[in-house]
């Protein structure tokens, strides 16, 4: 890496804008003059994210002792100047951008570089250097603007102790423009004495539920050490949003999970402190831009990314602004009045207006909503006299769902498609204005992807899937699977084609990959058809 100390000082001056933005208010003293690390400082690898036509954000975190019990990753309380380069070729013969970013102890020595001035729809490589250590080389791609096909994968729910991330190794071999992660990047529960199926011994601090910043940092660190996950991050830019387990199961804005888990989350001050710790650790470990950096227990995760005339991506946050779940949460019947209250919201008024107004103004062929919990109505009991609903899903917020779907229809939004995580099963659904009318036309299409590992090994179907697809129960549901994997989407001006990739086994490493279903939506014709 051709960066001398004199050149380093010059680049630091050229990069002050990024330093001032991402590390404002943090350690302002002199940097560690000649850092030497006891281990590989790039143990978590590298990543990029949120591609724009002219740039991406680059990420790494310095951690020579990645699971250090104090959460510092083996780093001293010193600032480290980290050099970075972006090039057109893997030999770095044509460097197109370079600079220095300051890694501070306040952000766990994470680095977020917002690179601009690149060409649209281009592949680039990038790397970092700290002291004498050079990171792995990552590959990224800026957003397309030419209207050509866009390929992306989406995934969610990657419980570390319930399965191996073999799916990510296969994903790294795909030809993708980007990856969407729809939530549950980690799980807050204790990982078990042997790390579940991973079969590794860990300190007792990993056996308890995460509560503090140190807890969340080390749970992210444990997740980020997986080499298959690193490979997928290293291969493509990612666009991420959170769901519940990044903080706590089924949290809702200022409401913790309503249970008796022994933690003081019923105390609003303690709950906000826990949220703040979880939010900060999430930002520290992922390739997020400055607007997503949290301010204590507040963060704005919803945002919009454009890919020319082809596709607008609306990234949602269905956790931070929702009303609390009704009827004690869970899956149950007999809660119709409460869950359908007209004032209830899952997005919050500001995000709801932002989404509908932005989608209504979009001139792109496709409007894709990156969403967490299932939008489609699902009666989970085949008994025609009983309607059983999942109250954490949009079924628990039916007025909000009506406003969403009616808003998309009234604004004549171009080809709305929802991609969803959370439910540990794959579902294809037509979204209508009246789910009670099996002949109601579709106004949008939903593709829910299964988990990467959560729930351990799945199966092509199970009792839940059989109940959901029972004749006459949910006629708008087109397909279901409870196997594990990820989903690949190809968008063209003519159609959006969705392929479900499955890893049959996740409790042992090295599973193969197969495509078990493919569906397509034709432009101008909402509703999924087998392809």
Q: What is the pTM of this model?
A: 0.94
Burial class (CB in 10 A: 0-12, 13-18, 19+), 116: exposed
**Considering its fold, how many domains does the chain have in total?**
2
**Do 106 and 158 lie in a common domain?**
no
Angle between the N-to-C axes of helices 349-361 and 398-410, in degrees from 0 to 180, rounded to the nearest 10: 20
Distance CA 235, CA 31 (A): 31
Burial class (CB in 10 A: 0-12, 13-18, 19+), 245: buried
Please report the pLDDT score of residue 258 as a whole number: 61
User: β-pairing, 366-371 with 311-315?
Assistant: parallel
- From residue 315, alpha-carbon distances to 181, 230, 231, 420, 438 in Å are 10, 23, 24, 11, 30
Domain CATH for 470: 3.60.21.70
Residue from 199, 190, 192, 197 nearest 163 by CA = 197
Domain CATH for 22: 2.60.40.380
Q: Give SS3 for 410.
A: helix
Please report the pLDDT score of residue 22 as a whole number: 65
Residue 21: count of CB within 10 angstroms of its CB: 13
378, 163, 245, 316 alpha-carbon torsion, rounded to 10°: -60
Q: Give SS3 for 339.
A: helix
- 3-class secondary structure for 62-116? CCCCCCCCCCCCCCCCCCEEEEEEEECCCCCCCEEEEEEEEECHHHCCEEEEECC
* CA dihedral for 60, 62, 66, 71, sign (positive or negative): negative
**Do 489 and 456 lie in a common domain?**
yes
**Do 93 and 204 lie in a common domain?**
no
Please report the pLDDT score of residue 24 as a whole number: 57
Produce one character per residue of 326-356: b if its CB has 16 or more CB atoms within 10 Å, e if not: bbebebeeebeeebbeeebbbbbeebbebbb
Distance CA 295, CA 407 (A): 31
Return the bridge partners of 495, or none: 522
Please report the pLDDT score of residue 523 as a whole number: 98
**Do 196 and 329 lie in a common domain?**
yes
**Do 304 and 362 lie in a common domain?**
yes
**Do 341 and 468 lie in a common domain?**
yes
**Do 223 and 124 lie in a common domain?**
no
| End-of-domain residue from the set 143, 177, 206 | 143
Please report the pLDDT score of residue 368 as a whole number: 98
**Do 96 and 158 lie in a common domain?**
no
**Do 135 and 190 lie in a common domain?**
no
Return the bridge partners of 388, or none: 333
Rounded average pLDDT per 10-residue block, the chain, 531 residues: 35 37 64 88 98 98 98 96 96 96 97 98 97 96 95 98 98 98 98 94 95 98 98 98 97 81 71 97 98 97 98 98 96 95 98 98 98 97 90 98 98 98 97 93 97 96 94 95 98 98 96 97 97 95
Q: 75 is in which domain, residue-wise?
A: 1-143
| End-of-domain residue from the set 96, 117, 143 | 143
**Do 233 and 129 lie in a common domain?**
no
- From residue 487, alpha-carbon distances to 154, 469, 518 in Å are 5, 21, 10
Q: Are 451 and 157 in contact (CB under 8 A)?
A: yes
**Do 214 and 96 lie in a common domain?**
no
Two tokens, residue 242: 């959170």
Please report the pLDDT score of residue 7 as a whole number: 34
Please report the pLDDT score of residue 16 as a whole number: 33
| End-of-domain residue from the set 143, 168, 187 | 143
**Do 394 and 473 lie in a common domain?**
yes
Element holding 180 (H helix, E strand): strand 178-181
Please report the pLDDT score of residue 101 as a whole number: 96
Q: Are 424 and 451 in contact (CB under 8 A)?
A: yes
Residue from 154, 169, 158 nearest 490 by CA = 154
Q: Are 117 and 71 in contact (CB under 8 A)?
A: no
Based on DSSP, count helices (H) and strands (E) in the chain, helices before strands: 10, 24
């Amino acid at each position: 890496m051709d960066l001398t100390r004199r050149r380093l000082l010059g680049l630091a001056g050229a990069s002050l804008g990024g330093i001032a933005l991402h590390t404002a208010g943090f350690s302002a003293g002199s940097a560690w003059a000649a850092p030497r690390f006891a281990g590989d400082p790039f143990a978590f690898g590298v990543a990029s994210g949120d591609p724009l036509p002219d740039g991406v954000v680059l990420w790494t975190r310095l951690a020579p002792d990645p699971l250090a019990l104090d959460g510092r990753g083996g780093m001293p309380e010193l600032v480290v100047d980290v050099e970075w380069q972006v090039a057109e070729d893997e030999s770095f013969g044509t460097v197109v951008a370079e600079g220095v970013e300051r890694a501070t102890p306040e952000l766990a020595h994470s680095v977020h570089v917002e690179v601009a001035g690149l060409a649209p729809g281009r592949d680039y490589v990038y790397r970092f250097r700290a002291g004498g250590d050079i990171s792995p080389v990552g590959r990224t791609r800026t957003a397309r603007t030419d209207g050509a096909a866009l390929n992306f994968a989406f995934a969610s729910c990657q419980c570390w102790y319930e399965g191996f991330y073999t799916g990510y190794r296969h994903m790294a071999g795909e030809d993708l423009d980007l990856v969407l992660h729809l939530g549950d990047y980690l799980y807050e529960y204790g990982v078990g004495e042997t790390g579940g199926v991973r079969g590794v011994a860990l300190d007792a601090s990993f056996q308890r539920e995460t509560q503090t910043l140190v807890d969340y940092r080390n749970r992210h660190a444990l997740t980020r050490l997986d080499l298959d996950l690193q490979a997928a991050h290293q291969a493509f830019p990612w666009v991420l949003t959170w769901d519940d387990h990044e903080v706590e199961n089924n949290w809702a804005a200022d409401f913790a999970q309503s249970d008796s888990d022994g933690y003081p989350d019923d105390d609003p001050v303690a709950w906000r402190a826990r949220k703040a710790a979880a939010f900060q650790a999430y930002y520290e470990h992922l390739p997020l831009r400055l607007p997503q950096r949290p301010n204590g227990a507040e963060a704005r995760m919803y945002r919009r990314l454009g890919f020319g005339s082809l596709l607008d991506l609306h990234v949602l946050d269905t956790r931070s602004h929702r009303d609390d779940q009704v009827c004690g949460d869970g899956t149950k019947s007999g809660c119709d009045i409460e869950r359908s209250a007209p004032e209830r919201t899952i997005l919050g008024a500001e995000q709801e207006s932002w989404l509908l107004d932005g989608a209504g103004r979009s001139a792109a062929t496709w409007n894709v909503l990156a969403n967490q919990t299932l939008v489609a109505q699902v009666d989970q009991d085949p008994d025609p006299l009983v309607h059983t609903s999942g109250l954490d899903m949009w079924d628990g917020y039916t007025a909000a769902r009506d406003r969403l779907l009616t808003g998309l229809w009234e604004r004549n939004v171009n080809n709305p498609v929802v991609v969803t995580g959370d439910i540990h099963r794959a579902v294809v659904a037509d979204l209508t204005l009246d789910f009670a009318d099996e002949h109601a036309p579709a106004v949008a299409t939903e593709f829910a992807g299964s988990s990467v590992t959560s729930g351990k090994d799945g199966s092509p179907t199970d009792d839940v899937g059989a109940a959901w697809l029972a004749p006459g129960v949910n006629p708008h549901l087109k397909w279901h699977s409870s196997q594990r994997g990820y989903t690949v989407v190809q968008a063209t001006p003519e159609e959006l084609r969705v392929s479900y990739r499955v890893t049959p086994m996740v409790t042992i490493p090295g599973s193969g990959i197969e495509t078990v279903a493919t569906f397509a939506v034709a432009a101008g014709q909402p509703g999924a058809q087998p392809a």
